[in-house]
Amino acid sequence: MPVAKLLEKWTGSVNEVAIGATASEGGTRSKVVKLGGQNTLPFLTEEGTIPNPPSIAMEVVDMVNPEWPSALTEPFKDVINNPAKWAKKCQDEYKADAICLRLVGAHPENKNTSVADVIKTVQEVKSAVSIPMIIWGCGSAEKDNQLFPAISQALKGERCLMGTATQDNYKVLAATCIADGHNIIAESPLDINICKQLNILLLDMEMPSNRIVIFPSTGPLGYGFEYSYSIMERTRLAALGGDKTMAYPMIAVVSNESWKTKEAKAPESDMPMWGKAAERAIMWEATTAIGFLLGGSDMLIMYHPKAIELTRKYMQQMMKT
Amino acid sequence: MIVIGERINGMFKMVRKGIQEKDKKIIQDIAKKQVEAGARILDVNVGPAAADDVAAMQWLVETIQEVTDTPLSIDSAKPPVIEAGLKACKKKALINSTTGEQAKLETLVGLAKKYNAGLLGLCMDEKGIPDNIQARVEIGLRILACAMEAGIPTDDIHLDPVVLPVKFGQAQTPMMFQTIRELKTLSDPAPKTVVGLSNVSQGCLDRPMVNRIALVMAIANGLDEAIVDPMDKDLMNSMITAELLLNKFIYCDSYLTAYMKAL
């Protein structure tokens, strides 16, 4: 006897957020990347539609972490000290959907790069690539609040994705994004209640609901991944169940989170039983990425081209079946 | 929880004035205010306000639909008045209401089918309101069966256990809560449960207090919908908090605001 498939029917859907603006929309990007819009769980195309499969942004930093293993620096060794060239390589050779420029160097405890120098880097990256841009602050609330108004102005019209806004520091970034037409990343520390609260605070400031992307924080594989996963899953279930305050696309930072782990960094001489260091590090990033895709990420930020290749292959396979 | 706003009723002075003077603004203001306050369906009842209640119902429905696309609950004891309302509705409507009385039930099930409307059924019949849970549930089942035979999906049926004033029949309120629980087990998918809440506080000194506590208790017993005054802020906040405590949505510090934004 044939058994009827039990299919879930959801009432809600995820808001669609567009990153990047072409000339006809007032920007200079060659394409627009759209996140969200689905009314079903990841890859479950029989239960709903997924108009925009997840995309991958490649991360470029303005200050390289000296602890990075050679497996990570190898593909970028000719460009690693020049964010603009690095970004162009990601676009031209590795076909990144977007570039995420992380301003690590601007942090007061790092190089404490001046606002003017940061703007210079931002402009260079903007000119070097034509794909949409994500600008990720340095993480110091005070410094980010100096940086973002200037960056936002410099990129006005480009409809970037900028972050992060947190529960304790969201006003400057939100006002800036609203004024200059950018999208915002709402970050919460692996806490679904704060995630929802921050969305409400942003909506109260009249941030348009099609310009918010949730960053629920990333716990990489082996280091709290399951917390991230369960929070993302609950967020998405709430959205599909009709809670409009949770119906935003989600972004995951796979890049620096997975390359920070011992499994990605430990040299073969320390851990001979773990196999080839380069392979395991790349697999760690790819596996973390795939986990996040299953958790509901609409955009992944990644580093290594090989890990990206593996993740893309998986994504294509899953979208086909 | 689905809030059905009760304020557009010819029993209320302002509404009566609006109907009698054909003053659209009065009616539209009440409609908009209820929607802003969280009503997801608006009940529409001509009441004793007009001689020609068929025409008045049609006018009310058209007037409300000029300012909101919130679905309407067409509330009348007379089938021709209900049909006039249903005909004018642009969105899927709710018929308020039938009882278990066979002739009435068949007529209203016929209208629900014809206009693809939901049907609210009171657990009472020509013999009145049973004073035991079992008999009320049996009437609920009768309404459900009649609708199912006509091909109406069970989740389009909204069963009301019948709310009586606590002041005049205290034994009735626990029965009402228990009936809500029983009605949810009648079919899969379950029928919706609904109460016309305000009747519970008839004659009480502090009516809002009785209303909101009764609503919270009914929610704890599985209530899906209530016909209430959404402008009663304490009532709405109690309702939202009850749903929070039942884990119906995700907590955040501004959960009261969030609830309204999430609608």
- The domain ranges of chain B are 2-262
Contact residues, chain A to chain B, C-beta under 8 Å: 192-197, 200-201, 203-204, 234, 238, 242-246
B260 — contact with chain A (CB < 8 Å)?
Answer: no
The helix or strand, by DSSP H or E, that contains position B173, with its residue range, turns out to be helix B172-183
CB contact under 8 A, A244 and B262: yes
B188 — contact with chain A (CB < 8 Å)?
Answer: no
Chain B contact set for A197 (CB, 8 A): 252-254, 258
CB contact under 8 A, A242 and B262: yes
B153 — contact with chain A (CB < 8 Å)?
Answer: no
- Minimal Cα distance from A200: which residue of B? B258
pLDDT of residue A318: 94
Is the pLDDT score of A1 beyond 80?
A: no
Mean of pLDDT over chain B: 96
Chain B contact set for A195 (CB, 8 A): 252
- Minimal Cα distance from B249: which residue of A? A238
Residue B253 in tokens:
């510090």
- Maximum alpha-carbon separation in chain B: 51
Q: How far is B256 from chain A (nearest CA, A)?
A: 11
Considering only CB atoms, A197 lies closest to which of B249, B252, B262, namely B252
pLDDT of residue A219: 83
pLDDT tens digits in sequence order for chain B, 263 residues long? 999 999 999 999 999 999 999 999 999 999 999 999 999 999 999 998 888 999 999 999 999 999 999 999 999 999 999 999 999 999 999 999 999 999 999 999 999 999 999 999 999 999 999 999 999 999 999 999 999 999 999 989 999 999 999 999 999 999 999 999 999 999 989 999 999 999 999 999 999 999 999 999 999 999 999 999 999 999 999 999 999 999 999 999 999 999 988 87
B244 — contact with chain A (CB < 8 Å)?
Answer: no
Q: How far is B134 from chain A (nearest CA, A)?
A: 34
> What's the Rg (C-alpha) of chain B?
18
CB contact under 8 A, B250 and A244: no
Residue B204 in tokens:
């009480």
pLDDT of residue B136: 97
DSSP state of A41: S
Residue B209 in tokens:
């207090």
CB contact under 8 A, B262 and A193: no
Is the pLDDT score of A4 beyond 90?
A: no
Torsion, Cα of A57, A63, A68, A69 (10° steps):
90
- Residue of A191, A192, A197 best to disrupt the B interface, most CBs of B under 10 A: A197
Per-residue burial over B67-78, b if 16 or more Cβ lie within 10 Å, else e, is: ebebbbbbbbee
Chain A contact set for B262 (CB, 8 A): 242-246
Q: How far is B250 from chain A (nearest CA, A)?
A: 7
Cα B72 to Cα B95: distance, rounded to the nearest angstrom: 9
- Residue of B40, B240, B248, B252 best to disrupt the A interface, most CBs of A under 10 A: B252
Question: What SS3 state is found at A6?
Answer: coil
Considering only CB atoms, B250 lies closest to which of A204, A238, A244, namely A238
- Pick among 3.30.470.20, 3.30.2290.10, 3.30.465.10, 3.20.20.20: CATH of B2-262: 3.20.20.20
What end-to-end distance do the CA atoms of chain B give, in Å? 10
pLDDT of residue A150: 98
Q: How far is A193 from chain B (nearest CA, A)?
A: 5
Of A38, A49, A46, nearest to A4 by C-alpha is A46
Considering only CB atoms, B249 lies closest to which of A200, A203, A243, namely A243
Percent of chain A with pLDDT over 70: 100
Of A136, A188, A125, nearest to A162 by C-alpha is A136
Q: How far is B65 from chain A (nearest CA, A)?
A: 24
Q: How far is B238 from chain A (nearest CA, A)?
A: 19
CB contact under 8 A, A196 and B251: yes
Cα B110 to Cα B114: distance, rounded to the nearest angstrom: 6
Of A187, A235, A218, nearest to A291 by C-alpha is A218
Residue B82 in tokens:
């209900």
Considering only CB atoms, A243 lies closest to which of B253, B254, B262, namely B262
- Maximum alpha-carbon separation in chain A: 71
Chain A contact set for B257 (CB, 8 A): 200, 204
One-letter amino acid at B164 equals L
Which range among A3-7, A21-25, A202-206, B249-253 shows the weakest confidence by mean pLDDT? A3-7
- Minimal Cα distance from A243: which residue of B? B262
Q: What is the pTM of this model?
A: 0.89
Residues A146-188: tens digit of each pLDDT: 999 999 999 999 999 999 999 999 999 999 999 999 999 999 9
Residue A31 in tokens:
């394409």
- Minimal Cα distance from A195: which residue of B? B252
- Minimal Cα distance from B256: which residue of A? A200
Considering only CB atoms, B250 lies closest to which of A193, A203, A244, namely A193
pLDDT of residue A3: 87
Cα A229 to Cα A192: distance, rounded to the nearest angstrom: 11
pLDDT of residue A188: 97
B121: which strand partners?
B98, B159
ipTM attached to this prediction: 0.83
Considering only CB atoms, B261 lies closest to which of A193, A195, A203, namely A203
Cα A307 to Cα A285: distance, rounded to the nearest angstrom: 6
- Minimal Cα distance from A234: which residue of B? B250
B247 — contact with chain A (CB < 8 Å)?
Answer: no
Cα–Cα–Cα angle for B38, B40, B42, rounded to 5 degrees: 105
Residues found in chain B: 263
Cα A15 to Cα A271: distance, rounded to the nearest angstrom: 45
B254 — contact with chain A (CB < 8 Å)?
Answer: yes
Q: Which residues, including other chains, have CB under 8 Å from residue A195's CB and lie 6 or more apart? A: A186, A188, A214, A216, A231, A235, A246, B252
pLDDT of residue A320: 86
pLDDT of residue B124: 97
CB contact under 8 A, B249 and A238: yes
Considering only CB atoms, A200 lies closest to which of B249, B252, B263, namely B252
Question: Do the strands A33-35 and A17-19 form a parallel or antiparallel pair, or are they unpaired?
Answer: antiparallel
pLDDT of residue A221: 83
Residues A202-239: tens digit of each pLDDT: 999 999 999 999 999 988 888 889 999 999 999 999 99
B257 — contact with chain A (CB < 8 Å)?
Answer: yes
Is the pLDDT score of A321 beyond 70?
A: no
CA B111 to chain centre: 18
